[in-house]
A and B are shown apart, each in its own frame.
Chain A
Amino acid sequence: MIDEAALAVLTDDELAKHPFDELVVALQQAVQRLEGGSTGLEESIELYKQGLRLHAACEKRLREAELAITELGRRGVTGAEPSAEG
C-alpha cells in the first residue's frame, strides 16, 4: 500500500509502477483524510497535491493500458501441462 509518507518521496515514474488498485486506494484515502477535517491547512494542501498526482497516475494508466494475455500450455509458459493433472 502507498501511505502518505511513501507518496511524498515517490517520483511519478515510481508511482506509475504501482498496481492500479493501490493507486486508487491511496487516492481514496487522501480524499477521505481531506474530508475528515482533522488536517491543518498546510497538510491539506499537501494532501491535495498528492491526490492530484495519484489521480493523474490513475488516468494515465487507464489511457495507456493494453490487455495482456497469457495462454497456458503454450511453450514458454510456466504452469502445469495437462499430463501433470492430479
Chain B
Amino acid sequence: MAEQPSLWDQPAAEDSAPAPPRASPRILRVTDLNRRVRSLLDADAVLADVWVEGEVSQPSFPPSGHCFFTLKDANSQVRAALFREELARAVVRPEHGMNVIIHGRVRAYEPQGVYQLYVESLTPAGAGDLHSRYEALRKQLAAAGLFEDGRKRPIPRWPRRIGVVTSPVGAVWRDINNVLRRRYPLVELVLSPSVVQGATAAPAIVRALQRLYAQRDLDTIILARGGGSLEDLWSFNDERVVRAVADAPVPIIVGVGHESDVTLADFAADLRAPTPSAAAELATPDATQLATILGRLRDRATAALLGRADERRSFIDAEGRALGRLAPDIGAARQRTADLLDRGARALDDRMERRRALLAATHDALRTLSPAATLERGYAVARGADGRILRDASATRAGDPLQVILARGTVESRVEGTRADDAEELFR
C-alpha cells in the first residue's frame, strides 16, 4: 500500500499550511484513524509500562510460536499477545483459567483496529505467585528429605571426567571452560547441552541430566546457569529439576546465577556454588596450588632422605664413640710395649755383658793355647828349609838349615844329625 500524506501524522505541516475552508466534514481513511489511535496510546506513559492482573482465557498457540489469549476479570476483558521470545522466557505457559500478573504495554494493532496487551512477562498471581510457590515447594521437598545434609556427598578431589549441564551458547559454558583450562586442564569435560530458560527449560534440564546419568565414569556433575531474575531462574525451582538433581548418581554441584540467587536445585545439590565459575572451581583442584603441593612433597622427600642420612651419620658417630670406649687402652698398651722394649733391651744388654765376659775369658784361654804362650813357657818351634814346622826328626838330614823360633828371636842353624827319640819318653 502506497504511503499517502496524512494530516494526523504531520500535525506540524498542517499547522503551517493555511486553513482550508470548512466546506465539508473531513473524511478519514481507516488507516489514518487507526494510526491516530495508536499514536494516542503510544504517548501514554502509564499504558507503556503497565502491570495487570487477570485470568487467562482461551489461549491459542499458532504455528508462529506466539501465544494469544484473552485476559479478563469479572466485568471486562482485553486481548493479550505473548510473542515467541517472551513465551520462551515465561515462567509458566498460559493456561485457561490461570490467574496471572502481566507486565507489558498496551498498543493498538492497526490492521485489526484493536488494542491489545503486549506481554513482556507473565507470572502466576495471588496464592500461586512465585514466592509462595517457591516456599511451598521448598517445604514439601525438605519434608521429603531432599535437602538433608546427610545426603550430601563429598566432591571428588581428583576428578577425571566432569559432566556439565548448561546452555552451550553464552558466557556460562565459556566461563567454565576458561576456569578449568586455567585451573585443572587434566580433566575431561562432558557437556550435556540444555536450554536453561523459559517454559521448556525444566524438562530439557531433566533430560540433559539423565543423559549424563547414563554415562559411566563421571566423577562429578555441574549444573550451571548465569544470573537473572527470579522468573529467569524459575526452572531451577521446578520440582522435576530439583528431584532430578537429588537423584544424581554422582556428586552434583549446582551453580546458578549470581551469589544472591538460591534456587531449590541448589538445596538439592551435594554442593552449592555461588556462580557457574565457582562451580568449576569447587569441582577441581587448582593446578597452580598443585604445583606447590607437588614441590612441597618433593621437599619433604628430600628432607626425609637427608634426615635418614643424618640419622645414619649420627648413628655411625655414636657407634664410633662406643667403639672407642670398648677398644683396648692404646696408651696403656703403648706403655706396656715400651716397658717390654726396655726390659728387652736390658735383657739384651745383660746378655751382651755376659757375652763380653765370656769372650774375654775365652780370649784368655786362647792366649794360653797360643804358640807365643807356649814359647814363653820355654818351648821352641823348629822350621825346616821349606819353612814348614818340623814334627819328625827323620824329615831332616844333617846339613839342612834349621830355624828355631823362641819366645824372643829366632836361631838360624844347621842340622848336625838326627835321632829317633820319643818325645813322650824324653819329657817324662
Residues of chain A at the chain B interface (Cβ within 8 Å)? 19-21, 24, 27-28, 30-31, 34-35, 37, 39, 41, 44-45, 47-48, 51-52, 55, 58-59, 61-62, 65-73, 79-82, 84-86
Contact = CB atoms under 8 A, between A and B. Distances in A.
Contacts of A73: 192-193, 211
Nearest to A71: B191
Contacts of B180: 67
9 tightest A-B CB contacts, nearest first: A21-B158, A34-B304, A65-B185, A51-B301, A68-B188, A48-B305, A65-B186, A72-B192, A67-B185
A48 B186 CA distance: 26
B287 A70 contact: no
A30 B294 CA distance: 12
Contacts of B307: 37
B294 A79 contact: no
B348 interface: no
B207 A67 contact: no
6 contacts: A47-B301, A69-B188, A69-B191, A71-B168, A85-B210, A86-B210
A51 B185 contact: no
Interface of B: 157-158, 160, 168, 177, 180-181, 185-193, 206-208, 210-212, 214-215, 287, 290-291, 294, 297-298, 300-302, 304-305, 307-309, 311-312
A44 to B, nearest CB: 5
A26 to B, nearest CB: 11
Given A24-B294, A85-B210, A19 B189 contact: no
A16 to B, nearest CB: 12
A14 B392 CA distance: 117
Contact of A66 (B157, B185, B193): B185
A24 B304 contact: no
B193 A72 contact: yes
A2 to B, nearest CB: 14
Q: What secondary structure prevails in chain B residues at the interface with A?
A: helix
The residue in B157, B185, B301, B305 that gathers the most chain A C-beta atoms within 10 A of its C-beta is B301
Contacts of B298: 51-52, 55
Given A66-B185, A85-B207, A51 B191 contact: no
B191 A72 contact: yes
A55 to B, nearest CB: 5
Given A27-B294, A51-B297, A55-B297, A70 B189 contact: yes
A68 to B, nearest CB: 4
Nearest to B183: A67
B294 A71 contact: no
Contacts of B192: 71-73
Contacts of A66: 185
Contacts of B211: 72-73, 79-82, 85
Q: Give the residue among A48, A72, A82 with the most B Cβ atoms within 10 A.
A: A72
Nearest to A30: B301
Contacts of A80: 210-211, 214
B204 to A, nearest CB: 8
Contact of B297 (A31, A68, A81): A31
Contact of A82 (B187, B207, B305): B207
A73 B180 CA distance: 22
Contacts of A61: 186
Contacts of B207: 82, 85
